[in-house]
Amino acid sequence: MTNETTWRRPSLSAEVPQRPLARQSSSPYAKGCHSSSRTSLTEAADVALRRPTMSKRPPGSVSPARRQIREVKETKITINCVTFPRPGGSPEQQLLKPNEWSYCDYFWTDKKDPQGTTSVAGFEVLLQKQLKGKQMQKEMSEFIHERIKIEEEYAKNLSKLSLSPLAAQDEGTLGEAWTQLKKSLHDEAEVHLKFSNKLHSEVEKPLLTFRCDNFKKDLKKYDHHIADLRKQLASRYASVEKSRRALADRQKDLEVKTQQLEIKISNKTEEDIKKARRKSTQAGDDLMRCVDLYNQTQCKWFEEMVTTSMELEKLEVERIEWIQQHLRQYTTLRHETDMFNQSTVEPVDKLLQNVDPGRDRELWVKENNTGDVRPVDMDI
């Protein structure tokens, strides 16, 4: 109920008062650390400190202490110096943020690379996601830049075409409509040029400059911080294993001397047993200290992993929302461009509706007629 683990050290003398293994963490997410890994190595160390039995055992049998250590180990598994519960060996752990697929719940173990030769830490996968997002953002900006170039080239060609002398000599209402159509090309070119300018200032530039200042440096700080904690954890784990081997050797030596006492091989055996017990107790104390330091380091790593992974998750949400906002601005500008383009052809539509072949003929005849006197029959 309190997430505390206490232990009682066996002793030949008076009992030692119980004490907590380590002070509780203030992190709201530390519960997972204390409930899953904090007691794993401590349980094994506590079992290892129990006095070996004085009764005879068949040759090759396993002592109760070692059997209990093995049973504790069978419920836990250590992968790359991090202690996890074995699948099915303990009650299922509760997610820190259920139903949210949060980073802080799914990147604790290391991931094999495609070749299966090396492992990538779960936190490194999260950092790679951030770097990939930054690259995608840059490529989107380059895409918009190419779109701007196409728009500028299109505007340039429209403006050039609007100055073409082709069909400039047409007359009448059709000539007026044709002149307006060429003028609309010039107006449309202006619309596309303005569209390209807005794309640059309101879409391309924001995508390109988003998080340019110190973003990669900040990621490196995160990386180095977690990597340092992981190195400390590996060092603590190595100390635990070294102390565990030392304790096993001391216990084995004590068992041998105990058997010698039972068969009374030597008068010095009892004194040797006391000495062996002191060494075994000291080795047990060393193991408990190393286990305590390991659990503290792993809990610190756990808390920093939770905090930092949630910060990376927040950064990813901000990146997606930022890009979404500016891609929406792209579609808004595109709709505005269509609207303005429509306004450039409305005068053309109006003049085309007023095209009158009869009126054009009248105007042309008035201007180009050669006389309205018709020929008559010749008299004899």
pLDDT tens column, 198-208: 999 999 999 99
| Residue 31 burial by Cβ neighbours in a 10 Å radius (0-12, 13-18, 19+) | middle
Taking only the tens place, the pLDDT of each residue in 213-226 is 789 899 999 999 99
pLDDT > 90 in the chain, percent: 54
At 318, list the tokens. Answer: 């901000």
312 and 103 in contact (C-beta within 8 Å)?
Answer: yes
pTM: 0.72
Q: What is the mean pLDDT of the chain?
A: 82
Task: Flag whether pLDDT at 101 surpasses 80.
Answer: yes
At 103, list the tokens. Answer: 């980073």
Question: Which CATH topology does 128-356 take?
Answer: Substrate Binding Domain Of Dnak; Chain:A; Domain 2 (1.20.1270)
Tell which wins on pLDDT, 277 or 263. 277
Distance CA 16, CA 219 (A): 48
184 and 345 in contact (C-beta within 8 Å)?
Answer: yes
Domains of the chain by residue range: 128-356
Task: Flag whether pLDDT at 357 surpasses 70.
Answer: yes
Amino acid of residue 375: P
Tokens 């202690």, located at residue = 83
64 and 106 in contact (C-beta within 8 Å)?
Answer: no
Taking only the tens place, the pLDDT of each residue in 7-44 is 766 654 444 333 333 334 444 444 556 544 444 455 54
Distance CA 42, CA 238 (A): 15
Task: Flag whether pLDDT at 234 surpasses 60.
Answer: yes
Distance CA 97, CA 100 (A): 6
Distance CA 9, CA 19 (A): 10
